[in-house]
Amino acid sequence: NAGVMQNPRHLVRRRGQEARLRCSPMKGHSHVYWYRQLPEEGLKFMVYLQKENIIDESGMPKERFSAEFPKEGPSILRIQQVVRGDSAAYFCASSPIGQRSSGANVLTFGAGSRLTVL
Amino acid sequence: TQLLEQSPQFLSIQEGENLTVYCNSSSVFSSLQWYRQEPGEGPVLLVTVVTGGEVKKLKRLTFQFGDARKDSSLHITAAQPGDTGLYLCAGAQWTYKYIFGTGTRLKVLA
C-alpha cells in the first residue's frame, strides 16, 4: 500500500547544475501537486498537473523551473541552473480528483525531496 | 500577501496541558484542513472542515471552523510528547488549490 513516493529524499547540487525531483502518486490518483517549503515557513503551491497536462502553474517561477506528468512514469519537477535560493524541501501531493465546485479535495503528501544548493 | 495567519508561531508546553492554535484570515474559504508535519516528513492530514460552525473531534483534538468560514482553531487536550510537530492549516476557495498557513511549531515536554 505505497503512498506518494518521492525521490531522491535528499539532493545536493552545486550552483548552475540541474535538479530533477520525481514523484509517483498514490495508486489510483491521477492528479499531482507540487509545493515548496522553505525553512520555518509553510508550503507554497507551485504547480498542479494531470496526466500529460499542466493545469495550473501559477506558483512556478517563470524561469528555470518546469514540471511534467507523462502518460507513463512519475511526475518530474526540474530546476535548471540551480541557485542557493532554490534550497528547500519540495513536496508532492496527489489526489484522486481535481477541481471541485464544493466540498474538499483530499491531498496525500509524500515525504519530500530536500534540495541543498552549495 | 499571506492569506492565512497562524498563532502562536511557537508553543512549548508541559505534558498534560491544554492548548489552542488559531488560523485566521480575512478571506472566506470553502474548506479548511489541518495537517501535522514531523521533521523530515510530509504533512499528514488530520481533518477537513467544510461547514461554517462545524466542530470535529479526533481523540484529544478538537477542530472548529468559524461561522463565517474565515477562521479555524485546533484545541488539544492533555497534550502528550507525541503531539510535538508543526501544525499547518490550509484553506481552499472553491478550487483544488490549498493555501497553507504560516504554521505553529508545538513542542510538548515530558
Contact (Cβ atoms closer than 8 angstroms) between residue B74 and residue B20: yes
pLDDT (average), residues B47-53: 92
* Span B5-109 CATH architecture: Sandwich (2.60)
pLDDT bracket for residue B80 (50, 70, 90): very high
Flag whether residue A99 sits within 8 Å of chain B, measured between CB atoms: yes
CA distance B44 to chain A (A): 7
Residue A117 in grid coordinates: 544548493
Torsion of CA A73, B42, A41, B7, to 10 degrees: 140
pLDDT bracket for residue B83 (50, 70, 90): very high
> Domain segments of chain B: what residues?
5-109
pLDDT (average), residues B46-62: 94
List chain A residues with CB under 8 Å of B101.
Answer: 42
Q: What angle do CA B43, B93, B22 make, to 5 degrees?
A: 55
pLDDT of A101 reads 45
Q: Which of B42, B43, B102 is facing A41, going by the closest CB pair?
A: B102
pLDDT of A116 reads 97
pLDDT (average), residues B56-82: 95
pLDDT by residue for chain A (118 residues), tens only, comes to 569 999 999 999 999 999 999 999 998 888 999 999 988 778 999 999 998 999 999 999 999 999 999 999 999 999 999 999 999 999 999 988 655 544 567 788 999 999 999 9
CA distance B97 to chain A (A): 7
CA distance A102 to chain B (A): 6
Test mutation, A33, A47, A92, A107, chain B, max B CBs within 10 A:
A107
Nearest chain B residue to A110 by CA distance is B42
What's the rounded Cα separation, in Å, for the pair B76 and B59? 9
Q: Give the single-character DSSP code of B27.
A: S
Flag whether residue B42 sits within 8 Å of chain A, measured between CB atoms: yes
pLDDT of A42 reads 82
Q: Is the pLDDT of residue B48 over 70?
A: yes
Q: Is A66 helix (H, G, I), strand (E, B) or coil?
A: strand
Flag whether residue A47 sits within 8 Å of chain B, measured between CB atoms: no
CA distance A81 to chain B (A): 25
List chain A residues with CB under 8 Å of B33.
Answer: 104
pLDDT (average), residues B11-30: 95
